[in-house]
Amino acid sequence: DKHISIQRHLADLEKLADLSKGERKPCPLCPEEKFKACYSHKLHRHLQNLHWKVSVEFEGYRMCICHLPCRPVKPNLVGDQTLSKMGAHYHCIICSATIVRRTDMIGHINRHVNKGETESRFITGRASKSSYEVVKESATDVQVLPNHSTPQKTDSYFNPKMKLNRQLIFCALAVFTEERKPIECLDAFGATGIMGLQWAKHLRSSVKVTINDCNENSVTMIKENCHLNKMKVKLNIKEEDDETVGNGEENSDIIEVTQMDANVIMHLRSFDFIHLDPFGTSVNYLDSAFRNVRNLGIVSLTSTDISSLYAKAQHVTQRHYGCNIVRTEYYKELAARTVIAAVTRAAARCNKGIEVLLAVALEHFVLVVVRVLRGPTTADDSARKIRYLIHCQWCEERVFQKEGNMVEENPYQQLPCDCHGSMPGKTAVLLGPLWSGSLFNTGFLRRMLLEAVKYGLDEAQPLLKALVCESECTTLKHFSTHNPGDEYKQEECGVYIRTANTSAESYLVHGKRKSEEAPRGTAKRQRVEHSAEHPPFYYNIHRHSIKGMNMPKLNKFLSYLSEAGYRVSRTHFDPMGVRTNAPLVQFKTVLLKYSTPTYVGAQAEGPVHLPGEMQVGEEVPAAAAIKVEEAESVEDTSGVLTTMFTQPYPTHCAD
């Protein structure tokens, strides 16, 4: 039964006191020592002013303040009078909790409403679903709670800012469906189930989707969202279609919904495609993910613990990832390589190697997509790519430590800069261990771009174009998608992709590859035939700008570096970042060469006009002429460069 302080009307509260008789009556909500028995007119004012007016209303009921000794109060040395005052409280109509302050009680009820917990044993029927919001994304409708953007306070977290993340994962899965069918894919942290619904709705019979969540309320919402999108729900592995929705849908529209811990379901079953998107770090689920994932399967994980990955909480990074990092100009790529290193170690413990297909680090998340290669040999090859990074704190030059177990007498010799010789004390730090291999697979990215165009994913297309250029280390003006056969010219590790002169049927069959037509030495030949990997890390053009000088436009600066004979591209990690294989000294030399003084009066000072005063509308001169001018400028400006680039400008690392 409900508590006596919860009533619908004031008359119901007065009935408890039985005011009809003319005798002295005690208050039903106050103890005798607090409010003595009195006549009906005085008791009526007491109930109205001290109980009813300060009540909290919910669904037609009033939760009046109660002074009865039903709430345990800590002992107080002041006296019983103060103790009785502290005993005032409210009784929650939903969960029967006791709350002291009225404002806290209102907030407590609002949290119940936001979570959808509006059903009480005192209220007949379930609350109306008018509080639910229906969100549409990529032709998929999902209903969410009003507080869907606060993961700490809701059971079904939905972040609209992660739309780009969901589109990238969908493109990766769409590319994977061309290699084998059907694919058993798992969304380990379903929340609202929008990601799994998008997979099943667009890819249809190519995928068998399983959406899992350990929260009961989230599982209920996932089922309702499946019904909203006219999808059949399979509740249990052993049961056949427990619930069906819709008229005449095909069997391909079945989504399996499970409620268990993510580690448990990944230990119990094998999947071809696994996506991990927990709240925070995903390192706790890597061992389970790689335990039963099938050979040549794909594991994608989204890490949202950016405070630790972006070197704002370095002790947390050390605790979760076993990695030492500092705040650098390339901190986002450092975060991506930190996550991949943890993934590589987890895969190696299961005798499996990885091939990185995609690594994206944006403002809100770090996304990593890897292909699993079974075998101890591939595991050893992947583990050898985990190395330490030597980072100079003065000029931010960096280089991966050489392979080998022998201790070097002077590790500073590996750095291209001479800051250790010209600056006092220790100038470099050892970061890592980090992933030192490539972050992208160009062939996979090109096919992802085609899938994004096919399904009309407008937000993912610009990013995928930038990633293709970054993986090839070329500028966007050299990028082209008109030739439909170019995306298949690269042979991926362990996967036999058709080329422009062959068809997909000669390499692929449903669910498996033709072993007689697929050469066994593909992985070894791929290392030889594969084009040069993109240079690791990038330079921020603003970080290395020269005081008192106007920098050239970024696109023009890229062309200048390319004409100097270096590979160059922009990077999605930093809008002002330049990925190049040029050493930092040459990077600064070209930057100084094409910079102009800020003040007109200072134009006569310095050798800034030696490269030739190139206007915006003029064409870039021939490469031979550029090299001659560069040689002349280097001879004339050697003294100026030495004084400028050896000034002590320390890097401001994060605490």
Question: Quick one: pLDDT at residue 582?
Answer: 94
Q: What is the pLDDT of residue 16?
A: 84
d(CA 463, CA 582): 24
Which of 451, 534, 527, 529 shows the shortest CA–CA distance to 487? 451
- Within 8 A by CB and 6+ apart from 91, the residues are 3, 5, 6, 63, 66, 70, 97, 98
- For the domain spanning 539-597, the CATH number is 3.30.56.70
Domain 134-237+252-402+421-435 sits in CATH 3.40.50.920:
no
User: Nearest 5 degrees, angle CA 130-CA 134-CA 135?
Assistant: 155
**Count of Cβ atoms closer than 10 Å to residue 634 Cβ:** 14
Q: What is the pLDDT of residue 477?
A: 59
By three-state DSSP, how is residue 337 classified? helix
Give me the pLDDT at residue 32, please: 84
Asked if 535 and 473 count as a contact pair (C-beta separation under 8 A), the reply is: yes
- Block means of pLDDT (10 residues each) for the chain, 655 residues, are 84 81 83 86 88 88 88 52 61 86 89 74 45 84 75 68 95 95 94 94 94 90 92 66 42 85 96 95 96 96 95 95 95 97 97 97 96 96 96 93 83 88 88 96 96 94 95 76 44 40 35 40 40 85 90 93 94 96 93 85 43 36 38 40 38 39
In 388-410, which positions are buried (b, 16+ CB within 10 angstroms) versus exposed (e)?
bbbbbbbbbbbbbbeeeeeeeee
Domain spans of the chain? 6-71+86-115, 134-237+252-402+421-435, 539-597
- What one-letter code names the amino acid at 530? H
- Identical topology for domains 134-237+252-402+421-435 and 539-597: no
Lookup result for tokens 């994962």: 169
Q: So what's the pLDDT on residue 95?
A: 83
Torsion of CA 183, 188, 189, 194, to 10 degrees: 10
